[in-house]
């Protein structure tokens, strides 16, 4: 039964390919994936009634959905491996993209965040302008700008070279996400430095440290510790914000889940798996950051309570 269904799907592939993202909302498609016969005689788990999920499409009657958790071990239509493998390669891209973007966010965020706490007026102005710009343009728009607009603005050859890069989408997503997140990190760094007693800066200055040395040896080690929890939160946001990168063609986890859903019609399995993977990834990061936070804690200053 399933084989036949998959074939049917393959037959429709060409048409399906052009369907917009929100296909689930189209009643015709919903009906086709949920034909009343589809689930008959099959294991129905965790409950056969999915009506409340999809709106009771058939006049309040329970709609059977063809659950198939074994789908992950089926081959993908492009015959490069299983759906599970495809999700895993998406996860790899997600992690790599998040790490690269976080690197940019952390470095730029620290620089801008520090600038906003310097005595020089112009530094504060530049920092504020930077934050307002990158924080207040929607991430999706920023990704489109990096991907579609920036290469056009570059001088001829360079623009063409960039457009022809194989991992162009990845680089655009990395820059877009990195700079977007850097504005948020910068705001946190500023808050952390300003939260320190004014006397700490004075004490550093008074023993003869230069401004840079005062930041390097006193203010930053303290500020980073204070803002560790919100920084963890920003890192998790970076991971989650990799998902919109699928719109410019990065094959990360959400993109893989979507293509699995398109090929197999197992929409719930595909996105349940994606959701579960995101949750596990976040949990691992959270636990890791907690351990790190404990190791960096200073006795009598910010020890865990």
Q: Which of 12, 23, 225, 290 binds another protein (CB under 8 A)?
A: 225
Q: Which of 132, 210, 229, 272 binds another protein (CB under 8 A)?
A: 210
Q: CB-wise, 227 or 253, nearer to another protein? A: 227
299 belongs to the binding site for another protein (CB under 8 A)? yes
Angle ∠(94,255,289) on CA atoms, nearest 5: 25
| Contacts for 292 with CB less than 8 Å, ≥ 6 apart | 228
Residues 178-207 that bind another protein (CB under 8 A): 197, 199-200, 202-207
Nearest CA to 239 out of 178, 191, 190 is that of 178
304 belongs to the binding site for another protein (CB under 8 A)? no
The footprint of another protein on this chain (CB under 8 A) covers a number of residues equal to 22
In this chain, which stretch among 85-93, 137-145, 218-226, 234-242 interacts with another protein, using CB under 8 A? Answer: 218-226
| Contacts for 126 with CB less than 8 Å, ≥ 6 apart | 112, 115
227 belongs to the binding site for another protein (CB under 8 A)? no
In whole angstroms, give the CA distance from residue 105 to residue 93.
18
20 belongs to the binding site for another protein (CB under 8 A)? no
Q: Which of 20, 208, 304, 305 binds another protein (CB under 8 A)?
A: 208
Q: CB-wise, 156 or 299, nearer to another protein? A: 299
Shortest distance, CB of residue 302 to another protein, whole angstroms? 8
| Contacts for 45 with CB less than 8 Å, ≥ 6 apart | 67, 69
How buried is residue 139: exposed, middle or buried, by Cβ count under 10 Å (0-12/13-18/19+)?
A: middle
Q: CB-wise, 133 or 203, nearer to another protein? A: 203
Shortest distance, CB of residue 121 to another protein, whole angstroms? 14
226 belongs to the binding site for another protein (CB under 8 A)? no
Nearest CA to 255 out of 141, 140, 93 is that of 93
282 belongs to the binding site for another protein (CB under 8 A)? no
Shortest distance, CB of residue 213 to another protein, whole angstroms? 6
Residues 32-91 that bind another protein (CB under 8 A): none
Shortest distance, CB of residue 248 to another protein, whole angstroms? 42
118 belongs to the binding site for another protein (CB under 8 A)? no
Which tokens hold the place of 23? 């296909």
Shortest distance, CB of residue 156 to another protein, whole angstroms? 46
Residue 52 burial (CB count, 10 A): 10
Chain centroid offset of residue 90 CA: 12
Q: Which of 20, 41, 60, 300 binds another protein (CB under 8 A)?
A: 300
Q: CB-wise, 55 or 221, nearer to another protein? A: 221
Instruction: Point out which residues bind another protein (CB under 8 A).
Output: 197, 199-200, 202-210, 213, 217-218, 221-222, 225, 298-301
């Amino acid at each position: 039964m399933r084989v036949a269904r998959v074939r049917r799907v393959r037959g429709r592939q060409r048409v399906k390919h052009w369907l917009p993202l929100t296909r689930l909302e189209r009643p015709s498609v919903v009906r086709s994936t949920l034909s009343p016969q589809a689930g008959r005689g099959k294991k129905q788990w965790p409950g056969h009634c999915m009506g409340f999920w999809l709106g009771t499409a058939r006049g309040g009657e329970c709609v059977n959905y063809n659950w198939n958790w074994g789908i992950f071990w089926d081959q993908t239509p492009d015959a490069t491996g299983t759906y599970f493998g495809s999700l895993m390669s998406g996860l790899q891209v997600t992690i790599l993209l998040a790490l690269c973007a976080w690197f940019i966010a952390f470095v730029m965020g620290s620089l801008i965040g520090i600038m906003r706490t310097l005595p020089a007026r112009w530094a504060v102005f530049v920092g504020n302008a930077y934050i307002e710009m990158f924080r207040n343009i929607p991430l999706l728009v920023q990704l489109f700008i990096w991907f579609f607009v920036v290469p056009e603005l570059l001088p001829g050859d360079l623009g063409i070279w960039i457009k022809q890069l194989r991992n162009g989408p990845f680089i655009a997503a990395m820059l877009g996400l990195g700079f977007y997140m850097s504005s948020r990190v910068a705001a946190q760094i500023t808050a952390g430095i300003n939260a320190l007693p004014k006397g700490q800066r004075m004490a550093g200055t008074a023993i003869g440290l230069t401004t840079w040395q005062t930041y390097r040896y006193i203010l930053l080690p303290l500020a980073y510790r204070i803002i560790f929890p919100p920084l963890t939160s920003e890192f998790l946001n970076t991971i989650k914000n990799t998902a919109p990168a699928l719109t410019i063609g990065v094959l990360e986890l959400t993109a893989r889940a979507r293509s699995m859903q398109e090929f197999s019609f197992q929409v719930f399995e595909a996105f349940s798996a994606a959701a579960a993977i995101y949750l596990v990834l976040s949990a691992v990061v959270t636990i890791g950051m907690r351990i790190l936070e404990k190791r960096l804690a200073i006795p009598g200053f910010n020890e865990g309570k």
